[in-house]
C-alpha cells in the first residue's frame, strides 16, 4: 500500500511539473511577424552573458520586427493560465545573468529589423530603437554634427540596456547619467500595453523604467537629448601617490560643472593602480609602451597610485593657443605628481570608442570571452578615504586582473524620481572593479579568488557601515533587494504591481518571484 502511494505521489508530481512547464508549441499560436525559434543554437546563444558566470536556457527566442511582436508575446503570457517569463536582451553585457531567463522567452532587441535613428536638428534630439547600439546612434547623429550629451565608456551597448541601469561615464558630473537625458520613451509593459511616456505624459511609468532594471517595461524607443558635437579631444592623464590630493582634485573639477565651457573639463574620471610594475593594462594603454611608467619610478608611498583622466573638447576651427591656455589654467590648480602628465589629441569619436579598440586587442589574444566577476559600487564621499584604506590598500593586495575606475558625481544631476538608488550625499563616487578571471595558473586571478574578494569588499563595507549602493546590482533574495532599495522599496513594489503585476519581466534580476508557478530553473 505504501509503495502504491509513493508511486501515485511521484506521478502526480511529474504531472504538475510537466503541466506547468512552458510548452513551446503554444507560443507558435501567438501572432508574430518576426522570428520565434526554439532552435538549440539560438537558445545556446542567449543562455550566457558577458559575465560568463551563469547559464540559463529559455524555451524560445524572439527576434521581433515590430513593437507589436513584443507586445503580443508579453500579452499572451499575461493573459494565459500559467504564464511565463520574458526578458529583453541587448548586447548581453550583463554580468550575473540579469538578461537571462529559464523556461521563458528571450527577446533579442539587437540586430533585428527596426527603424533607423531619426535626428531632429531643430529640437536637438534623436529617436532610436531600444536595441540600437550607442555606437550606431553616435554615427547617425555625427552626420548632423550632433551627439548625445552623456555616455557610457563602452559604446557597444544597447540604448534600452543602459537606460535600464543608468548609463554613466566621465560626463555624468556635468550632464548627469544617460537617464537624465531622455525626453520620451515607448515602453511595452508587463501587461503587453504599448505606452508612450515622458515627464508630462504617464510620468510614473517614465520614471519607473529609467534605471528600472527591466522590471516595469521593455524600452522600444527612446528620445535622446543632443548637443553640438566637438570634432576633437585633448586627452590628459596625470598621476597621484596621495589619495586625498587625488579625490580633492576630482571633487574640485566636478564642482565646476556650471561654469563656462572654457573654465572646466568636459570629462572627469580616474582609476586606481595597485599592480606592481607597469601602469598599462587593457584600459590604460594611453601610456606609451616605448616609455613605460613604473610605480617605483614615481617614489609612491606604497603600492598604490591613482590616475586622473580628463578631457577638453574642441572644434577643428578652435584656436590651439586658447585650448592650451584653458588646459594650463586648470592643470595649475591640481596637485598631481610633477612630470607625470601625459597628453594626446584625437578625434572625438576615437576617444568615445576607446574601449572597443582595447576589446579587439583582447579578443585577438583570447582574453575577452572569459568570466568577468565585476563589482560596481556607489560610495558616499564621506567614506571614500575609509574605502581606500580598507580596499585599495588592504583587501586587493598587489593584483587586480583589470582596471579599477573611481570618479565622483554630483547628486543634483540625478532625478530621484527614477528607480535608481544612490548614496544620500551631494557627492558620491563610482568605484568599478572591472576584473577578468584568468585560468593561467595564478591563484590570485582565478574566478574563485576574485569572487571571494568581492564578497570581502561587501562585507568590509557592511561591517564598517559604509553605506554603499551597488550599480548594476546583483542580489539573490528579495530581502537583500529590499535593503538595497531602502526607503524606495514601497515605490518599487507599487510600480511593479501596477505595470507588471504577474512579475513576467526580467526574472533574471531575481527581485520578484513570478506569480505563475512555472519551473523557473534560474531561481
Nearest Cα neighbor of 485 from 213, 194, 110, 116 is: 213
Distance, in Å, from the CA atom of 107 to the CA atom of 118, rounded to the nearest integer, reads: 23
Nearest Cα neighbor of 471 from 377, 374, 373 is: 377
* Protein fold of 232-470: Vanillyl-alcohol Oxidase; Chain A, domain 3 (3.40.462)
301, β-bridge pairs: none
pLDDT surpassing 60 at residue 3: no
Nearest Cα neighbor of 309 from 259, 353, 277, 343 is: 343
**How remote is the C-alpha of 122 from its chain's centroid?**
30
pLDDT surpassing 60 at residue 296: no
Strands 217-228 and 182-189 come out as antiparallel
CATH 3.40.462.10 residue ranges of the chain are: 232-470
Average confidence (pLDDT) over 142-169: 98
pLDDT surpassing 90 at residue 420: yes
Higher pLDDT, 370 or 4: 370
Is-contact 233 347, C-beta < 8 A? yes
Higher pLDDT, 185 or 275: 185
CATH 3.30.465.10 residue ranges of the chain are: 118-228
pLDDT at residue 14, as a whole number: 34
The grid coordinates listed for 481 are 533587494
**Whether residue 31 lies in the annotated active site:** no
Nearest Cα neighbor of 359 from 412, 388, 402 is: 402
The highest-confidence range among 204-218, 262-276, 365-379, by mean pLDDT, is 204-218
- Residue with grid cell 590630493, as numbered in its chain: 245
Nearest Cα neighbor of 339 from 297, 276, 305 is: 297
pLDDT digits (tens, 9 = 90+) for 10-24: 334 333 333 346 777
The highest-confidence range among 361-375, 432-446, 473-487, 503-517, by mean pLDDT, is 473-487
**Whether residue 93 lies in the annotated active site:** yes
Average confidence (pLDDT) over 172-180: 97
pLDDT at residue 327, as a whole number: 97
Q: Mean pLDDT of all residues in the chain? A: 90
pLDDT at residue 519, as a whole number: 42
Burial of 134 (0-12, 13-18, 19+ CB in 10 A): buried
Higher pLDDT, 384 or 316: 384
Task: Spot the catalytic one: 153, 266, 388, 453.
Answer: 153
Average confidence (pLDDT) over 221-231: 97
* Protein fold of 118-228: 3.30.465
pLDDT surpassing 80 at residue 282: no
Distance, in Å, from the CA atom of 448 to the CA atom of 455, rounded to the nearest integer, reads: 11
pLDDT digits (tens, 9 = 90+) for 312-336: 999 989 999 999 999 999 999 999 9
- Residue with grid cell 533607423, as numbered in its chain: 116
The grid coordinates listed for 200 are 508630462
Say which residues have a Cβ less than 8 Å from residue 510's Cβ, sequence separation at least 6: 475, 476, 477, 481, 522, 523
Task: Spot the catalytic one: 108, 186, 266, 269.
Answer: 269
Average confidence (pLDDT) over 422-427: 98
Q: SS3 sequence, 252-265?
A: HHHCCCCCCHHHCC
143, β-bridge pairs: none
Report yes or no on whether pTM surpasses 0.85. yes
pLDDT at residue 73, as a whole number: 97
pLDDT surpassing 50 at residue 520: no
Distance, in Å, from the CA atom of 212 to the CA atom of 205, rounded to the nearest integer, reads: 10
Task: Spot the catalytic one: 49, 69, 91, 93.
Answer: 93
Confidence of residue 301 (pLDDT cuts 50, 70, 90): low
Confidence of residue 26 (pLDDT cuts 50, 70, 90): confident
Is-contact 403 418, C-beta < 8 A? no
**Whether residue 442 lies in the annotated active site:** no
Is-contact 283 403, C-beta < 8 A? yes
Q: Say what percent of the chain tops pLDDT 90.
A: 80
Is-contact 229 146, C-beta < 8 A? yes
pLDDT digits (tens, 9 = 90+) for 442-451: 888 899 999 9
Q: At 43, is the secondary structure helix, strand, or coil? A: helix
pLDDT at residue 67, as a whole number: 96
Long-range CB pairs of 460-465 (<8 Å, 24+ gap) are 460/390, 460/391, 460/394, 460/395, 461/377, 461/387, 464/383, 464/386, 464/390
pLDDT at residue 108, as a whole number: 97
pLDDT at residue 302, as a whole number: 66
pLDDT digits (tens, 9 = 90+) for 83-99: 999 999 999 999 999 99
Amino acid at each position: 500500500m505504501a509503495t502504491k502511494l509513493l508511486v501515485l505521489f511521484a506521478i502526480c508530481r511529474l504531472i504538475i511539473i510537466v503541466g506547468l512547464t512552458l510548452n513551446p508549441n503554444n507560443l507558435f499560436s501567438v501572432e508574430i511577424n518576426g522570428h520565434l525559434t526554439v532552435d538549440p543554437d539560438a537558445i545556446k546563444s542567449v543562455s550566457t552573458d558577458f559575465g560568463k558566470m551563469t547559464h540559463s536556457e529559455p524555451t524560445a527566442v524572439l527576434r521581433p520586427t515590430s513593437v507589436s511582436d513584443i507586445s503580443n508575446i508579453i500579452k499572451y503570457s499575461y493573459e494565459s493560465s500559467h504564464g511565463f517569463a520574458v526578458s529583453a536582451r541587448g548586447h548581453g553585457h550583463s554580468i550575473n545573468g540579469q538578461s537571462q531567463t529559464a523556461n521563458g522567452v528571450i527577446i533579442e532587441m539587437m540586430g533585428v529589423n527596426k527603424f533607423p535613428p531619426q535626428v531632429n536638428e531643430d529640437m536637438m534630439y534623436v529617436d532610436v530603437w531600444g536595441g540600437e547600439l550607442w555606437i550606431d546612434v553616435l554615427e547617425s547623429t555625427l552626420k548632423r554634427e550632433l551627439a548625445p550629451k552623456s555616455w557610457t565608456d563602452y559604446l557597444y551597448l544597447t540604448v534600452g540596456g543602459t537606460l535600464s541601469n543608468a548609463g554613466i561615464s566621465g560626463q555624468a558630473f556635468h550632464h548627469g547619467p544617460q537617464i537624465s537625458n531622455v525626453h520620451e520613451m515607448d515602453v511595452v509593459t508587463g501587461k503587453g500595453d504599448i505606452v508612450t511616456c515622458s515627464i508630462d505624459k504617464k510620468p510614473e511609468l517614465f520614471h519607473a523604467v529609467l534605471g528600472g532594471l527591466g522590471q516595469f517595461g521593455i524600452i522600444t524607443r527612446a528620445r535622446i537629448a543632443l548637443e553640438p558635437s566637438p570634432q576633437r579631444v585633448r586627452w590628459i592623464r596625470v598621476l597621484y601617490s596621495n589619495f586625498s590630493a587625488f579625490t580633492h582634485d576630482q571633487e574640485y573639477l566636478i564642482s565646476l560643472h556650471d561654469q563656462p565651457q572654457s573654465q572646466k573639463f568636459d570629462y572627469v574620471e580616474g582609476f586606481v593602480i595597485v599592480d606592481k610594475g607597469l601602469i598599462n593594462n587593457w584600459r590604460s594603454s594611453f601610456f606609451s609602451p616605448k616609455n613605460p611608467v613604473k610605480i617605483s619610478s614615481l617614489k609612491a608611498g606604497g603600492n598604490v597610485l591613482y590616475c586622473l583622466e580628463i578631457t577638453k573638447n574642441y572644434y577643428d576651427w578652435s584656436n590651439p593657443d586658447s585650448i592650451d591656455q584653458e588646459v594650463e589654467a586648470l592643470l595649475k590648480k591640481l596637485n598631481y605628481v610633477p612630470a607625470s602628465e601625459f597628453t594626446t589629441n584625437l578625434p572625438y569619436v576615437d576617444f568615445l570608442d576607446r574601449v572597443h579598440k582595447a576589446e579587439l586587442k583582447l579578443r585577438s589574444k583570447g582574453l575577452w570571452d572569459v568570466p568577468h566577476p565585476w563589482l560596481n559600487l556607489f560610495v558616499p564621499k564621506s567614506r571614500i578615504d575609509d574605502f581606500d584604506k580598507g580596499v585599495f590598500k588592504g583587501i586587493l593586495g598587489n593584483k587586480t586582473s583589470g582596471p579599477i575606475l573611481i570618479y565622483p558625481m554630483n547628486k543634483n544631476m540625478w532625478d530621484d524620481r527614477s528607480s535608481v538608488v544612490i548614496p544620500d550625499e551631494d557627492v558620491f563616487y563610482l568605484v568599478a572593479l572591472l576584473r577578468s578571471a584568468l585560468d593561467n595558473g595564478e591563484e590570485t586571478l582565478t574566478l574563485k579568488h576574485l569572487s571571494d574578494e568581492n564578497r570581502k569588499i561587501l562585507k568590509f563595507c557592511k561591517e564598517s557601515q559604509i553605506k554603499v549602493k551597488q550599480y548594476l546590482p546583483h542580489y539573490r533574495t528579495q530581502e537583500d533587494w529590499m535593503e538595497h532599495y531602502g526607503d524606495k522599496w514601497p515605490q518599487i513594489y507599487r510600480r511593479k504591481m501596477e505595470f507588471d503585476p504577474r512579475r513576467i519581466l526580467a526574472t533574471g534580476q531575481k527581485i520578484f518571484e513570478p506569480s505563475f508557478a512555472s519551473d523557473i530553473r534560474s531561481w
